[in-house]
Chains A and B, each alone.
Chain A
Amino acid sequence: MASAEIDVKYVAHLARLALSPDEEKQLGAQLGNILGYIEKLRELDVSGVEPTAHAVPLVNVTRPDVVQPSLPHDEALRNAPKKSGGLFIVPKIVE
């Protein structure tokens, strides 16, 4: 396992999370502490153990392919911070 240090600035970028310099510093210290604790999982031999993604796994869950009512357009837009003409408004993406 890696050393108990996180490049908080880089991970925050991956998470699309703006942090203040103070937050970065504090999170770095706290997460180092938590990762140190998590290191204890290295004590276990997990070779040959299958991972569990879900405790009660179901496979190929389907329902009848029938058209059902969905959220009306105006309801789906109701909570939008910015909207116009029945669309979400976002900053310019392509020049």
Chain B
Amino acid sequence: MLNQLTISALTARLRRREVSAREATQACLDRIAQVDDRIHAFLSVNAADALAQADAADRQLAAGAQLPLLGVPIAIKDVLAVKNHPLNCASKILGSFISPYDATVIEKLRAAGAIVFGRLNMDEFAMGSSTENSAFGATRNPWDTSRAPGGSSGGSAAAVVAQECLASLGTDTGGSIRQPAALCGCVGLKPTYGRVSRYGLVAFASSLDQVGPFTKDIRDAATLLGVLSGQDLRDSTSIPIPVPDYPAALTGDIKGLKLGLPREYLIGGLDAEVKAAVDAAVKKYQELGAEIVEISLPHTDYAVATYYIIATAEASANLARFDGIRYGARVEGNDPIELYSKTRGAGFGPEVKRRIILGTYVLSSGYYDAYYLRAQKVRTLIRNDFLKAFETVDAIITPTAPTAAFKLGEKSGDPLQMYLSDIFTISCNLAGICGLSLPCGFTQNPALPIGLQLLGQPFGEATLLRLAHAYEQATDWHRRFPEL
């Protein structure tokens, strides 16, 4: 079944003309028809458009074109603009919005030959850690459909693990790529802030958001990251640093690399099976020749609080644009202010409202210095912790999430508990560094994936990928997929 292949395996077979892009795309569409009523990873799929792209890819293949993703079906989180396709951010407020242009990452995927298809479910406006905040219903974890896939990019992770696409794009503001990758059991990479253009990504928290790939293995993540990366003049925060050859970094040799083990990550809420799996991964790294160094990130305990001030403040400003005037749904009012209020009251879901109120509050007159400015200063301390650690280590190794996948509904009534499930991933965004999650084991009963997180220096993705690839070569967790 072609939908079960990695990108590297499919592109090899496509280049040898053993199979066609149309067959690969049809295999994904068939898989979606077979399983997605149970998973709900996709909000919509335009099969005719996907197959037309596949036919175009087959013509290019026949002409001998050599492109890194030629004929590879890749699905997209519903927060990235794809020209002439719906864009809802899993919210009611965008109504029947159709994107008038492609995001830069979509342009780059197309230029690399990919078949860009589907709208993947997510927490509304990427606010959440379980995909339960989607206005269109939760996505389910392919390993146990009574459990959450994580979030906010839950659809992106579930679609890869349920083998409904070869890879997908998601976004990560506080862990929204890495945490669902961990809970579903695939690879998820959050690039360094500024590595990948945000043009055409609907902003949640502009100083934290990054686009990144979900894949079945590390080689695919390296390939996709190479395609997505690079400066974009339409995003003034994208950084003009050359893009390395990421797949070439996968040498298998990690001898002498230093991995930092932060003592602050051994918290009370860390599940025993998750801890055991991460301990075993640390041991495996030692066998592979890496050196393990205990480090300290002393401001770790303040990261969640800092994040929920900065992210909500930025969100309250960014989401002001959804006012019912220029696009999306509208509820009429007697004057513009009434129109805005009614439209926003009817269009946004509970978590988005909660964050807009919190963000507006921390920015409001009299509270700005006490909350927002203080949080920005603590952000400096958190960033400095990491920069200091990276003076002595090449990367940092932690669990991705404190537990394996939790039950749907288990945390949705308690926002603070949900926020704390991001405790290991949030600092990375505040510091602007890169991070990835890869599978490192399973719980016993039920069998649920466990994620290992590697955090790297700013623009240190090549080293992270090398480390992750070496571990992956020495284990076979990434070869296990759920029965569906």
Size class of the A contact interface (CB-based, 8 Å): 35 or more
Please, how many angstroms separate the alpha-carbon atoms of A46 and B370 in the complex? 11
Known: A17-B348, A46-B374, A50-B377. A56 touches B305 (CB 8 A): no
Q: Which residues of B contact A35 (CB under 8 A)?
A: 358
- Is there an interface contact between A56 and B354, defined as CB atoms closer than 8 Å? no
Proximity bits, A1-32, B CB within 8 Å = 1, else 0: 11000101001111111111001000100110
Interface assignment of B145: CB less than 8 Å from any CB of chain A: no
Total A-B residue contacts, Cβ distance less than 8 Å: 177
Interface assignment of A44: CB less than 8 Å from any CB of chain B: yes
Proximity bits, B371-409, A CB within 8 Å = 1, else 0: 101111111110100000000000000000000000000
- Is there an interface contact between A17 and B357, defined as CB atoms closer than 8 Å? yes
Interface assignment of B324: CB less than 8 Å from any CB of chain A: yes
- Is there an interface contact between B370 and A2, defined as CB atoms closer than 8 Å? yes
- Is there an interface contact between B380 and A1, defined as CB atoms closer than 8 Å? no
Known: A41-B305, A52-B383. A91 touches B332 (CB 8 A): yes
Interface residues of B in 185-220 (CB under 8 A from A): 192-194, 207
Please, how many angstroms separate the alpha-carbon atoms of A43 and B306 in the complex? 13
Please, how many angstroms separate the alpha-carbon atoms of A46 and B302 in the complex? 13
Interface residues of A in 58-95 (CB under 8 A from B): 58, 61, 63, 71, 75-76, 78-82, 88, 90-93
Interface assignment of B139: CB less than 8 Å from any CB of chain A: no
- Is there an interface contact between A71 and B360, defined as CB atoms closer than 8 Å? no
- Is there an interface contact between B236 and A61, defined as CB atoms closer than 8 Å? yes
Among the stretches B31-39, B96-104, B114-122, B279-287, the one at the interface with A is B96-104
Please, how many angstroms separate the alpha-carbon atoms of A93 and B334 in the complex? 9
Interface residues of B in 79-122 (CB under 8 A from A): 95-98, 100-101
Q: Which residues of B contact A53 (CB under 8 A)?
A: 207, 376
Among the stretches B251-259, B336-344, B448-456, the one at the interface with A is B336-344
Please, how many angstroms separate the alpha-carbon atoms of A6 and B371 in the complex? 13
Main secondary structure of the interface of B (DSSP, over half): helix
Please, how many angstroms separate the alpha-carbon atoms of A86 and B330 in the complex? 18
Please, how many angstroms separate the alpha-carbon atoms of A30 and B413 in the complex? 10
Q: Which residues of B contact A38 (CB under 8 A)?
A: 305, 308-309, 371
Interface residues of B in 331-369 (CB under 8 A from A): 332-342, 344-346, 348, 350, 353-354, 356-358, 360-361, 364, 366-367
- Is there an interface contact between B333 and A71, defined as CB atoms closer than 8 Å? no
- Is there an interface contact between B341 and A58, defined as CB atoms closer than 8 Å? no
- Is there an interface contact between B432 and A56, defined as CB atoms closer than 8 Å? yes
- Is there an interface contact between B353 and A54, defined as CB atoms closer than 8 Å? no
Minimum CB–CB distance from A94 to chain B (whole Å) comes to 10
- Is there an interface contact between A82 and B370, defined as CB atoms closer than 8 Å? no
Known: A15-B360, A34-B308. A55 touches B383 (CB 8 A): yes
- Is there an interface contact between A16 and B323, defined as CB atoms closer than 8 Å? yes
Proximity bits, B250-275, A CB within 8 Å = 1, else 0: 00000000000000000000000000
Known: A11-B364, A37-B305, A56-B194. A81 touches B377 (CB 8 A): no
B contacts, CB < 8 Å to A = 95-98, 100-101, 192-194, 207, 233, 236-237, 239, 299, 301-302, 304-306, 308-309, 316, 320, 323-330, 332-342, 344-346, 348, 350, 353-354, 356-358, 360-361, 364, 366-367, 370-371, 373-381, 383, 415-416, 419, 430-433, 458
A contacts, CB < 8 Å to B = 1-2, 6, 8, 11-20, 23, 27, 30-31, 33-35, 37-38, 40-44, 46, 49-56, 58, 61, 63, 71, 75-76, 78-82, 88, 90-93
| A-B contact sample (6 more), CB < 8 A, given A56-B192, A80-B325 | A15-B357, A40-B305, A46-B378, A51-B373, A55-B383, A90-B325
Please name 12 pairs of A and B residues whose Cβ atoms are closer than 8 Å in the assembled complex, sorted by A.
A17-B353, A17-B357, A18-B344, A41-B378, A46-B378, A49-B381, A53-B207, A55-B193, A56-B239, A58-B194, A75-B100, A79-B95
